[in-house]
Amino acid sequence: MAKEVPDQVAYAAGGFFSFAITCILMAFLIGVGMGIGARQFYSTIYSPDAVLPQANENE
C-alpha cells in the first residue's frame, strides 16, 4: 500500500498538471486568436472609410 499510493498520487498529479497545461495553452491560443480576429473585425467595421462617411451623411 505504501508503494501504490505515491504512484497513484504521481499519476493523478501528472494527469492534472498535463490537463492544466493543455487548458492553459488552449486558452492562450484561443485568446490570441480571438484578439487577432477582434482586431481585424473592428478594424474592418470601424475603419474611417466605412463608418465615418456614413456617420457624416446621417448627421
What is the average pLDDT score of the chain? 77
Q: Which pLDDT belongs to residue 42?
A: 79
Eight-class DSSP state of 46: S
Task: Say what angle helices 48-58 and 4-45 make with each other, to 10 degrees.
Answer: 50
Q: Is the pLDDT of residue 48 over 80?
A: no
Contact (Cβ atoms closer than 8 angstroms) between residue 44 and residue 50: yes
Q: Is the pLDDT of residue 1 over 90?
A: no
Query: Which residues make Cβ contacts (< 8 Å) with residue 44, sequence separation at least 6?
Result: 50
- Identify the H or E element spanning 51: helix 48-58
